[in-house]
Chain A
Amino acid sequence: MATAAAHQAARTQAAHATSDATGTAPGQAPGTAAYQTAFDTAVAAEERIEPRDWMPDAYRATLVRQIAQHAHSEIIGMQPEANWITRAPSLRRKAILMAKVQDEAGHGLYLYSAAETLGTGRDELLDKLHSGRQKYSSIFNYPTLTWADVGAIGWLVDGAAITNQVPLCRCSYGPYARAMVRICKEESFHQRQGYELLLALSRGTEAQHAMAQDAVDRWWWPSLMMFGPPDDESSHSAQSMEWKIKRHSNDELRQRFVDICVPQAESLGLTLPDPDLVWNEERGHHDFGAIDWTEFWEVLKGNGPCNEQRITQRRQAHDEGAWVREAAATHAAKHSEAKHAEAQDSGANGKATA
């Protein structure tokens, strides 16, 4: 604890030194090497880097990119599920689904705020999303064709997200780690609700059971792709591990997810669409079939079933909302001007009477 405090003080001093240096005496600032050492020591000691601490530019850029992509995924991810809000087959399910979609909007808000602490605002990030310069999770480029897809998304997509995100609760960047703690709690709720939805279908009528199986058949492989390309093709992994942004490799997390899902699928009474899925006693894990990486890269490139539809709806909502945001900003400016003028008035009056 004492060391943590000392490091914190050193890093904050370093940060102050930077700002002093730019304003007054550039030559006297300690070299970047000193900040780098303080940063490295802090990361190695599992301390959290906070917004005011010095950090390498590449660390900042990596975080902004990752947090932005995560935030974009939350808000694009609202679409496939919102697709079923108006058709939810019971009022209880409708309430659960509306609350879930609302949670995802909330996750978007937390994450855009976390990115903001690194100096990049929401408007800029949305701009990059809308112009295709930043991505969101490819999973949301698949369509929700039946009600069972809502359950499959909860169980598999939120499930995969949790597997990916629980380690991020220990991410070296404080605001991101804290946002993830909140988000993971809600995602695990979503996962259980999705599972429960599928269970009701699986134990329901023949048609409901078939609907559930069909949804799992369509969502299983794309869910496995959510962990990203295999380790030998993953470009950012090594550095992110070193920075303790990432804790486990894509393949490790994917394996963990498969091992979690197999017994759950059994309890659901549904099968996973992989003939090669088998328990490997020696490894202590399930072996599973080859993933179609061509499909993964195609969807990533923009050729998935819904890429165009998702980004068009997002842009449209944004563009159609422009006059609302403009009105709110104009109103706020008028209001604060009026307040300002009032304050000046009373100030002037005060002087005149005094």
Chain B
Amino acid sequence: MTTSLNPASSADADAVTAAAALALGDDALVLSHRLGEWAGHAPVLEEEVALANIALDLLGQARVLLSLVGDEDELAYLREERAFRNVQLVEQPNGDFAHTIARQLYFSTYQRLLYGRLAETDGPLAGLAAKAVKEVAYHQDHAEQWTVRLGDGTAESHDRMQQGCDALWRHTGEMFQPVDGIDIDWPEIEASWTASVTAVLERATLAVPEGPRTGAWSAGAGRQGLHTEPFGRMLAEMQHLHRSHPGASW
């Protein structure tokens, strides 16, 4: 099994970087997988292309990040649920298209801010972040456009979009828990995120959700390896074939 990556056990800078890469890599890997589930089910052909595009960008980011930590396939396919470090938001099931778009809006806004700030540092992840932020800008634009279209579309699409935003709100606080090895101003990111998402929701004639975003369960603890029930089933599907042929190469 993979080496322990708990940065608290080591002051080694490489280990800290690895833990950070693992957190961001798992975010990208898991969200890419969820988006991949849309293939063949999208509401319109153009979205088959767009969602696959985003999934592919995220998978590309995940592979670079995980490769900084170890073997990408060992990490993706041979870790248990409790060893994944992604935020709970990205593992949430797709739901309807509005639900998926709400997840995209929340996450891509976060990821763009995070990578944008990370790119300005001189840390080891800066180069990767600088490249990824361009891709993520497109993801955010896609999510914002659909949020506005659906929010300010028909009565039905408005309701669905509102429901998606409300349901996922409780998983948004977790994104702003500082990640060791990423030396940026986390409260500033959270403030920018809130301002950006609020502006989009207003443009979409949607209400900014009011539920809690922090606290024992609403904030989640994915970064500590505590995940939600659907995640285990997702991993079971994702890892099954690889685990069925130990040591095989593909």
A residues with CB within 8 A of B: 75, 78-79, 82, 85-95, 98-99, 101-102, 105-106, 108-109, 112, 122, 147, 197, 200-201, 204-205, 207-208, 313, 316-318, 320-328, 330-332, 334
- B9 touches A (CB below 8 Å): no
Quick check: B52 and A89 within 8 Å, CB to CB? no
Interface string of B40-79 (1 = CB under 8 A from A): 1111111111001101100110110010000011001100
Determine whether the beta carbon of A98 is less than 8 Å from that of B43. no
Taking CB atoms, residues of chain A closer than 8 Å to B248 are 89, 204-205, 207-208
Q: Please give me the residue from chain A that is nearest to B56 by CB atom.
A: A98
4 A-B pairs closest in CB distance: A321-B43, A327-B153, A327-B157, A102-B52
Quick check: A79 and B40 within 8 Å, CB to CB? yes
Cβ–Cβ < 8 Å partners of A90 in chain B: 73, 77, 242, 249-250
A207 and B245 in contact (CB under 8 A), knowing A109-B46, A323-B154, A323-B156? yes
Q: How far is the CA of A208 from the CA of B242 in the complex (A)?
A: 12
- Asked whether, in the complex, the Cβ of B62 is within 8 Å of the Cβ of A86, the reply is no
Given A86-B33, A204-B249, 4 other A-B residues pairs in contact with their CB atoms under 8 A: A91-B59, A98-B56, A201-B250, A334-B152
A325 and B250 contact, CB distance less than 8 A: no
Q: Mark B227-244 against chain A: 1 for CB-CB distance below 8 A, else 0.
A: 000000000011011100
17 sample A-B contacts, Cβ–Cβ < 8 Å, listed by A number: A78-B39, A82-B39, A91-B66, A99-B52, A102-B52, A105-B48, A197-B250, A204-B249, A205-B247, A207-B248, A208-B248, A321-B43, A322-B43, A324-B47, A330-B154, A331-B152, A332-B149
**Nearest chain B residue, comparing its CB with the CB of A71:** B45
Contact A102 B53 (CB under 8 A): yes
With contacts A87-B241, A330-B154, A331-B149 taken as known, whether A105 is within 8 angstroms of B43 at the C-beta atoms is: no
Contact A317 B56 (CB under 8 A): no
Closest to B160 in A: A323
Q: Is B37 an interface residue (CB 8 A)?
A: yes
Interface of A (DSSP majority class):
helix
A86 in contact with B72 (CB, 8 Å): no
CA distance A92 to B53 in the complex (A): 15
* Known contacts A86-B238, A94-B36; A101/B52 CB under 8 A: yes
Query: Bound complex: CA of A208 vs CA of B244, how far in Å?
Result: 11
Cβ 8 A contact of A106, one of B49, B55, B242, B249: B49
CB of B150 closer than 8 Å to a CB of A: yes
Closest A residue, CB atoms, query B150: A327
Q: Which residue of A lies closest to B59 (CB)?
A: A95
A330 neighbours in B (Cβ, 8 Å): 153-154, 157
Q: How far is the CA of A239 from the CA of B45 in the complex (A)?
A: 32
Known A-B contacts A91-B63, A204-B248, A317-B41; the reply to A324 vs B97 at CB < 8 A is yes
Are B160 and A105 neighbours in the complex by a CB distance under 8 Å? Answer: no
Residues of B within 8 A of A94 (CB): 36, 59
Number of A-B contacts (CB under 8 A): 143
Residue B83 at the chain A interface, CB threshold 8 Å: no
Contact A95 B63 (CB under 8 A): yes
Q: Which A residues lie within 8 Å of B130 (CB)?
A: none
Min CB distance B154 to A, Å, is: 5
Near A by CB (< 8 A), chain B positions 176-222 give none
**Smallest beta-carbon distance A198→chain B, Å:** 11
A86: B residues at CB distance < 8 A: 33, 36-37, 237-238
The answer to whether A102 touches B49 (Cβ under 8 A) is yes
Q: Restricting to B121-161, which residues have a CB under 8 Å from any CB of A?
A: 148-150, 152-154, 156-157, 160
**B246 → A minimal CB distance (Å):** 9
Task: Report whether A317 and B250 are in contact in the complex, using a CB–CB cutoff of 8 Å.
Answer: no
Distance of A143 from chain B, by nearest CB (Å): 14
Chain B residues closer than 8 Å to A320, beta-carbon distance: 41, 43, 96
B43 lies within 8 A of A91 (CB) = no
Q: A79-B40, A86-B33, A207-B245 are in contact. Are A93 and B45 (CB under 8 A)?
A: no
Q: How many angstroms between the C-alpha atoms of A102 and B36 in the bound complex?
A: 10
A98 to B59, alpha carbons, bound, how many Å?
10
The residue of chain B having its C-beta at the shortest distance from the C-beta of A74 within the complex is B45
Contact, CB under 8 Å: A78 / B36 = no
Name the B residues within 8 Å of A91 (CB-CB). 29, 59, 62-63, 66, 72-73, 76
Q: Which of chain B's residues has its CB closest to A126's CB? A: B45
Q: For the complex, what is the distance from the CA of A343 to the CA of B166, rounded to whole Å?
A: 36
Q: Is the CB of A205 within 8 A of B245?
A: yes
- With the chains together, A244 CA to B249 CA distance in Å? 46
Q: Please, which residue of chain A has its CB at the minimum distance from the CB of B149?
A: A331
Q: Write the chain B residue with the least CB distance to A335.
A: B152
User: In whole Å, how far is B72's beta carbon from the nearest beta carbon of chain A?
Assistant: 5
How far, in angstroms, from A4 to B32 measured CA to CA in the complex? 50
Q: Chain A: which residue is nearest B49 at the CB level?
A: A105
Tell me whether A326 and B245 are in contact (CB under 8 A): no
Nearest CB on B from A12, distance (A): 32
Assembled-state Cα–Cα distance A87/B250 (Å):
12
What chain B residues lie within 8 Å of A204 (beta carbons)?
A: 248-250
Cross-chain contact A98 with B36 (CB below 8 angstroms)? yes
Which of chain B's residues has its CB closest to A80's CB?
Answer: B40
Please name the residue on chain A nearest to B53 by beta carbon: A102
Taking a contact as CB atoms under 8 Å apart, the answer to whether B63 and A87 are in contact is no
Give the distance to chain B from A86, nearest Cβ to Cβ, in Å: 5
Contacts of A78 in B (CB 8 A): 39-40, 48
Task: Say how far A84's CB is from chain B's closest CB, in angstroms.
Answer: 9
